[in-house]
Each structure stands twice: as C-alpha cells, then as structure tokens.
C-alpha cells in the first residue's frame, strides 16, 4: 500500500470518526522505532478507530478466520492485516510481526485473543510476551473506550456513541534466557500490560482466577 493511499484512508477514517463518534485521542505513539501497541478488543471498529489515532502506519495481528468473502484477504493484507491462526502458536504470523518491529515499524496486537462478549477485559494470551522476548521492543498500552457500545458482539448495525482512544507510556521489560523463566516472562508481560490497559480505561483488570484458568488451558 502506498503512503499516499494510506494517508487518504487515514484522513477519511478520522473525519468519519469525528463526525459520527465525537472521536478523541489521548496520548501518543512514539514517533520512531519499532513498537508494539497492545489494545483491548471490543468491536470490529477497533482497528480503524485505533489506526486513525496514530500518525504512523501500523500492521495488525488479527484472526485468520474472520473474513471469507472473495478477495477480502488480499485486500486486508494490502491494508496491513497479519492473519493469525488460533489454537496454536502461529510462527509465521509472529515471525512477520517480529520482522516488522525489527525494521522499525508499528505492530498492533489485541492480547485478549478475541472480542469481549460483555465489555469487560479478558485475560491475555502469552503471544504478546513472545514478541517482546524476540524483539526487546517497547509496548504501548492502549484503551479504546466506546467501541463496544458502537458495535458489540452480535449487533447488526453500528450505533452512534462517543469513542476515544488512550495511549499510555511505553513499557519495557527485562529478559532472561532460561526456558522456564521465559514462559514466566511471557505471562508477566501479558499481565502487566493488561493492568496498564485497564488503568487507562479506568476499568477492572482481568481477575487472577481467569488468568490462571487461561494459563492452564494453554
């Protein structure tokens, strides 16, 4: 995708967001360097409304089974979608994200692994920590407020509701080389980032019982 095409889409999306959802942006993404944006996931509107809150182009890790109409996947890849297979570690998707970050690009991940069904934050998967371990990149937590009300799971049409996106300060994490410690590192990164996302939205973080269940299921 050319820089001009991306800029035109950015301006159009930002204008629609401002007109329809009284869109606001709080905070900012670092201007240079590879960075991973970690955001809550409540709606199909999250990707465009998060994207138009950044002045840098971003690539997005997203489920590979969401778009099935002819030509959709090629178009979405052109727009910056990195298809992610669920149920196992998708090395191809994570290698693509890692390579982009090492080249100084912005990659977005939704650590919960899917949209919330009730508006509350869900426990994070360890994929976030894996990318951080492989790149050493900073993580910028982000909270999208109002997108669940605009288009909750199961809704057939969007509603008019104020939307804002808040970007937090970049987080960095020390790393260890031990395999056992690495697994612990993945979960520590995910837990810490989800707590920061919750703080940005002034909402409750995922409870520890849910997080423990998520770990046991992996």
**What is the share, in percent, of the chain residues with pLDDT greater than 70?**
88
Angle made by CA atoms 11, 17, 18, in degrees to the nearest 5: 90
Average pLDDT over every residue of 177-204: 88
The model carries a pTM of 0.88
Length of the chain: 218
pLDDT tens-digit readout, 64-96: 776 666 666 677 777 788 988 877 778 899 999
pLDDT confidence of residue 96: 95
Name the CATH superfamily, with its identifier, for domain 3-217.
Glycerol-3-phosphate (1)-acyltransferase (3.40.1130.10)
State the Cα–Cα distance between residues 25 and 3, nearest whole angstrom.
22
Domain residue spans of the chain: 3-217
């Amino acid at each position: 995708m050319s820089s001009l095409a991306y800029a035109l889409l950015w301006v159009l999306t930002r204008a629609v967001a401002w007109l329809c959802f009284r869109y606001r942006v709080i905070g900012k993404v670092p201007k240079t360097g590879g960075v991973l944006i970690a955001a809550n996931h409540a709606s199909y509107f999250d990707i465009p409304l998060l994207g138009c809150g950044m002045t840098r182009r971003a690539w997005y890790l997203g489920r590979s089974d969401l778009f099935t109409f002819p030509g959709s996947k090629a178009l979405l890849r052109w727009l910056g979608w990195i298809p992610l297979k669920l149920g196992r570690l998708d090395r191809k998707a994570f290698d693509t994200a890692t390579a982009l970050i090492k080249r100084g690009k912005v990659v977005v991940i939704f650590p919960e692994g899917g949209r919330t069904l009730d508006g509350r934050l869900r426990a994070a998967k360890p994929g976030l920590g894996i990318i951080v371990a492989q790149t050493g990149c900073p993580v910028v937590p982000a909270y999208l407020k109002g997108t669940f009300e605009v288009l909750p799971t199961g809704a057939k049409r969007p509603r008019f509701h104020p939307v804002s996106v808040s970007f937090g300060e970049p987080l960095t994490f020390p790393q260890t080389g031990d395999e056992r410690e690495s697994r612990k590192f993945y979960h520590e990164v995910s837990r810490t980032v989800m707590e920061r996302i919750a703080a940005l939205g002034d909402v409750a973080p995922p409870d520890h019982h849910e997080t423990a269940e998520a770990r046991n299921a992996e």
